Amino acid sequence: MLTLDSSALLQEAAALLRQQGQLLHSRTLAGQTRAKGKTDFVTAVDTRVQENIRMALEQLTPGAALMAEEKDNAAVDLNGAVWVLDPVDGTTNLIHGFRHSAISLALAVEGRVELGLIYDPYADELFTARRGKGAFCNGEPIHVSGAAALADSLCSVGTNPGCRDQADAAFARMRRIYDRCHDVRRVGAASIELCYVACGRLDAYLEHGLKPWDYAAGMLIVAEAGGRVTDFAGDAPLLDASRCAILATNGQIHSELQSLL
Ligand code: IPD
Ligand code: CA
Ligand code: CA
């Protein structure tokens, strides 16, 4: 069904993300917000980026499906080729002008991610991976950190504002980790936190209640950079899970962290 090879597809998708990433600089569009829930927002940047990318992908790969945050995904069949898109990961950051948001795009075939791209327009960093071909930031190879113990690590712990019923457990988990590592961080954009694990700025990132578009691209980028991504139970994250607790590490501290979850 896909006529372009994965290298050509990655190049086309990369150009698309760099182009659409410019919309994240618009404070006018970021100011046009609508609440989907008490702490869950969508801006005109989200809807415009999604629509532009949807139209471009339809031209690029006719027949491939699209799973994306700001649309109904009930008809998406994961057995075929599916683009998985988060048009703005870090919408709350975007609204507040806290310059850490990204576009995240993955291509999955039969439920397995083959391509992953995450573009942070503020840092002008494009993270990419193709299955079996390594991970890159702006074309340069990246690798996870060499931290061998939690005691030597910097960990990002997500608070997931959409799952407040799990806040007590999440903050207790954060405290257990904080007590055992250099410090904890929180960027507020799952995709960027996964990229930071991939390039060694963080040794680990974990968060409960994520959706497939938060982690589809990032989990391939981490894996191709030599790291490990599982759910909290140690199983491979699925794209059809409605919510998934994600643990991404440099591999070396994975089991030590998992035992604290
Ligand atoms: C959110 C961000 C945030 C995470 C939430 C996600 P959104 O994505 O990744 O860091 O805590 O769980 O939903 O809503 O900005 O696309
Ligand atoms: Ca997201
Ligand atoms: Ca989003």
Q: In angstroms, what is the span from residue 122 Cα to ligand 3's centroid?
A: 16
* DSSP letter (8 states) at residue 143: -
With cut-offs at 50, 70 and 90, classify the pLDDT of residue 25.
Answer: very high
- CA 172, distance to chain mean position in Å, is 24
d(CA 82, CA 110): 8
Could you identify the atom of ligand 1 that is nearest to the CA of residue 94? 15
Q: Which residues pair with 64 in a beta bridge?
A: none
Pocket test for ligand 1, best of 49, 160, 173 (most atoms within 8 A of CB): 160
Query: What kind and span of H or E run contains 206?
Result: strand 204-210
pLDDT tens for residues 27-40? 999 999 999 888 88
The SS3 of residue 202 is coil
Judge whether residue 139 has pLDDT over 80.
Answer: yes
pLDDT value for 3: 60
Judge whether residue 1 has pLDDT over 70.
Answer: no
Could you identify the atom of ligand 1 that is nearest to the CA of residue 46? 16
Judge whether residue 146 has pLDDT over 90.
Answer: yes
Assess contact for 163 and 132: CB atoms under 8 A: no
Domains of the chain are: 6-141 (3.30.540.10), 150-258 (3.40.190.80)
Tokens of 225: 């950079």
Pocket test for ligand 1, best of 50, 69, 89 (most atoms within 8 A of CB): 89
Can you tell me the mean pLDDT for 116-140? 98
Helix pair angle (212-224, 190-198), 10° resolution: 10
pLDDT value for 5: 85
Q: In angstroms, what is the span from residue 5 Cα to ligand 1's centroid?
A: 31
pLDDT tens for residues 33-69? 999 888 889 999 999 999 999 999 999 999 999 999 9
Can you tell me the mean pLDDT for 74-101? 97
Q: In angstroms, what is the span from residue 66 Cα to ligand 2's centroid?
A: 15
pLDDT tens for residues 8-21? 999 999 999 999 99
80 in contact with ligand 1, CB cutoff 6 A: no
pLDDT value for 43: 97
**Residue ranges in 181-230 assigned as alpha helix (H):** 190-198, 212-224
Percent of the chain residues topping a pLDDT of 90: 94
Atom 16, ligand 1: residue with shortest CA distance = 89
